[in-house]
Amino acid sequence: MSDPVLDVRGLAYAYPDGHQALYGVNLHVHRGERVALLGPNGAGKTTLVLHLNGILTAGAGSVAVSGLPVAKENLQEVRRRVGVVFQDPDDQLFMPSVRADVEFGPANLGLRGAELERRVVDALDRVGMVDFIDRPPHHLSFGQRRRVAVATVLAMEPEVLVLDEPSSNLDPASRRELADIIRSLDVTVLMVTHDLPYAYELCPRSVVLSDGVVVADGTTRDVLTDDALMAAHRLELPFGFDPRTIPAP
């Protein structure tokens, strides 16, 4: 069997101020999976994400991406393989035009000319934003900026797409459009979210992180219908949403 795309073993991390965020996290994500990473605020989800592409360095344990250990000498390749889309598109889009922003990642990988142009147009096409290629990002709507943020990472042709709160602040139509885009991508997805219906709609599997450890790992339906687990980790379904009455998508 091939190496998992994401292979996190016994990962522990404490911030420089002494606050320990992760206490031995184990997580394996295989090619083609879409996995939701759930957990209350302060559970360590963002800290975990920042380890996946080597922004933070493990205090103990290891992280490997398709067999390649996340270590200083591999950082550039690790960051190509793991595409992180941050929550606020204004943090991700910092160049004066959409084109320059989408170019930024692949250009850092050394691409130029026709190949670079192909990557940019292709990535924007996959999120339906090709027509906006020469616009400045700050003139786009929030939903459009989020889609361009996804494109900036897709242009690097990552092996796994990590989305931090992809549905936050989106209106229902933008939320649905983004779901269609995520479903259409032929890429492994790890999605950090508080939006449980979104997780249920998009991710067959869910992992619950709470107080720095993985407390549940199973089908999203099983996780969301385990009332004791949900209550113990401050996870709540929105009013009127009952996964028991909805067939798994």
Partner 1 sequence: MGASHGHHLHFHGHSPVHHLPAHTKIVALVTFVLVVVATPRQHAWAFAVYAVLLLGVVGLAGLPFGHIARRMVVEVPFVVFAALLPFVASGPRVPVGPLSLSEPGLWASWALLAKGTLGVLASLTLAATTEPRDLLAGLERLRLPQQLVQIFGFMVRYLEVVTGELTRMRIARESRGFQARSVRSWPALASTVGALFIRSYERGERIHLAMLSRGYTGRLPVTHTLTASSAQWRLAAALPTAALVTLAVAVAL
Q: Which residues bind partner 1 (CB under 8 A)?
A: 50, 53, 55, 76, 79-80, 82-84, 86, 88, 90-97, 100, 103-105, 107-109, 112, 116, 136-141, 152-153, 156
Tell me the closest approach of the beta carbon of residue 142 to partner 1, in angstroms.
Answer: 9
Tell me the closest approach of the beta carbon of residue 238 to partner 1, in angstroms.
Answer: 26
- Indicate the residue among 23 and 104 with the shorter CB distance to partner 1: 104
Tokens encoding 76: 């550039």
Alpha-carbon distance 123 to 146, whole Å? 13
E strand spans, the chain: 6-14, 20-29, 34-38, 60-65, 68-69, 82-85, 160-164, 188-192, 205-210, 213-219
- Indicate the residue among 95 and 213 with the shorter CB distance to partner 1: 95
Tell me the closest approach of the beta carbon of residue 31 to partner 1, in angstroms.
Answer: 21
Alpha-carbon distance 125 to 225, whole Å? 37
- Indicate the residue among 93 and 208 with the shorter CB distance to partner 1: 93
Tell me the closest approach of the beta carbon of residue 243 to partner 1, in angstroms.
Answer: 32
Tell me the closest approach of the beta carbon of residue 150 to partner 1, in angstroms.
Answer: 12
Alpha-carbon distance 12 to 57, whole Å? 10
- Indicate the residue among 147 and 205 with the shorter CB distance to partner 1: 147
Alpha-carbon distance 192 to 127, whole Å? 19
- Indicate the residue among 90 and 131 with the shorter CB distance to partner 1: 90
Alpha-carbon distance 161 to 5, whole Å? 11
